[in-house]
Amino acid sequence: MENEILCIIVELKINPMNKGFIPPAIFLLLMFISVDCHKKPDEPQIVTYNTFNQIKLNGAGQSSEQTFSLPDDVDRIKKIQMYVRLLCPSGGCGAWDVYANVLVKDNNSGLFYEMARYITPYGRDNSSTDRGFVFDVTDFKSLLSGEVTLRIFTEVWTSQGWLVSVDFDFEYGTPDYRYYSIAPVMQYNAHSLAGLPYGEATEMNVDFKVDVPDEAEETSLRTIISGWGHATPEDTDGRPCAEWCFRTHNVLIDDQVTFIHDLTGLGCEENAVPAQFGNWKPDRAGWCPGMEVPVRKDILTLPKAGQSFNLSYRLENWTNDFLSLADNKHAYYAVSMFVVVKSDIPVQPASISQNP
């Protein structure tokens, strides 16, 4: 409102018809006032940062790691959007739909956190979209500040591959909360077959204790899941696991089913990258070739500030009979899960420990 009043006065000042209307002392004061009167009060201010620029990833080098300078005033950031553009190198794009992601380094722990996951198109780039794949990565804004190390990964094994570029839009404005923190619960996601084995015994932990900091005003879970493998027995409609079989995963808070993750079809035929050179139209279990893998955001009813809770992740019952004719007879769910805590005062990350 104050800026709107100033803009009216400035308009009076610069309008020649109003000469002599405003006293000289006020004119002198207005000479030192700078107000953007052409910008609407609710218009977002977006600043774009370019990071990786057409980095070639293929069988000779599946990942790249670089450090970039990003804003350090993240308490003023309302939203961060990340864009991943894929182009074809000379010789063409990779022929297959493969697992790929973008990660950010936590300088305190030295660990890389998965911000986003996507599946490459069959043999095509994603220039049919405006700026490539788009992801909301605001949950990671405490890490996307100052000198930031990022890693891009694409699980391609051939000499063909993709030229990968990553840009960020930082939107300034009034955030829901000024400060965020983020902590990993589990990251079974180094590659597509590094996930939780499905239908067989595993020593990978899925039971945790979460200690929430005192400052928490909102606590949520951020999860990315994609299923891989062609294990049997197939479902009655002929779908092997875990790429094709539709399943339900349960998130338990203090032994109660609190959130449900349905890994069903996303409508792959409506893909933003059409006319791929492969079997891109049939629905997979929660992902599609040439699309972003969905982020599943679950907000706790109460933030549980200063409290602890038990967190468990349960896959739907199914038993692998290991009779698949595929080279790999196993099924996997590549999973990453984080606890995100928000507050209007600086907030520490939640503390995560394994439950026996």
What is the rounded CA–CA span in Å between residue 352 and residue 312?
12
Strands 241-242, 332-343: pairing is unpaired
- Beta-carbon contacts of 65 under 8 Å, excluding residues fewer than 6 positions away, are 149, 150, 151
Q: Which residue has tokens 């990779």?
A: 94
Active-site residue identified among 97, 106, 125, 167: 97
Cβ-contact 266, 244 below 8 angstroms: no
The CATH number given to 44-175 is 2.60.120.230
Q: Which two tokens stand for residue 271?
A: 């893909």
Q: Which two tokens stand for residue 72?
A: 């350090």
What is the rounded CA–CA span in Å between residue 313 and residue 195?
13
Cβ-contact 108, 148 below 8 angstroms: no
Quick check: is 243 catalytic? yes
Phi/psi of residue 57, nearest 5 degrees: -115, 125
| Nearest residue to 274 via CA among 294, 255, 289 | 289
Domain boundaries, the chain: 1-42, 44-175, 178-356
According to DSSP, the residues that pair with 166 across neighbouring strands are 84
Active-site residue identified among 125, 139, 243, 292: 243
| Nearest residue to 135 via CA among 293, 20, 253 | 293
Instruction: Say if 44-175 and 178-356 have the same CATH topology.
Output: yes
| Nearest residue to 342 via CA among 296, 297, 294 | 297
pTM of this prediction exceeds 0.85:
yes
Q: Which residue has tokens 């803009």?
A: 7
- Intra-chain end-to-end CA distance of the chain, in Å: 57
Q: In a 10 Å sphere around its CB, with 0-12 CB exposed, 13-18 middle and 19+ buried, how is residue 234 labelled?
A: middle
Res 77: pLDDT: 97
What is the rounded CA–CA span in Å between residue 257 and residue 55?
43
Helix (H) or strand (E) holding 93: none
Active-site residue identified among 155, 167, 215, 292: 155
- Beta-carbon contacts of 232 under 8 Å, excluding residues fewer than 6 positions away, are 240, 241, 320, 321, 322, 323, 324, 329
Within 10 angstroms of residue 256's Cβ, the number of other Cβ atoms is 10
| Nearest residue to 189 via CA among 162, 234, 222 | 222
| Cis peptide bond N-terminal to 275, omega within 30 | no
* Average pLDDT, consecutive stretches of 10 residues, N- to C-terminus, the chain (356 residues): 44 44 51 47 82 97 98 95 97 96 97 98 95 98 98 96 98 97 98 97 97 98 98 97 98 98 96 95 96 98 98 98 97 98 98 91
Res 31: pLDDT: 46
What is the rounded CA–CA span in Å between residue 39 and residue 50?
25
Q: In a 10 Å sphere around its CB, with 0-12 CB exposed, 13-18 middle and 19+ buried, how is residue 117 labelled?
A: buried
Quick check: is 155 catalytic? yes
Which CATH number applies to 178-356: 3.90.226.10, 2.60.120.230, 3.40.50.620, 3.40.1160.10?
Answer: 2.60.120.230
Q: Which residue has tokens 């094994």?
A: 157
| Nearest residue to 208 via CA among 182, 193, 186 | 186
Res 155: pLDDT: 98
Res 24: pLDDT: 56
What is the rounded CA–CA span in Å between residue 134 and residue 139?
15
| Nearest residue to 239 via CA among 179, 275, 285 | 285
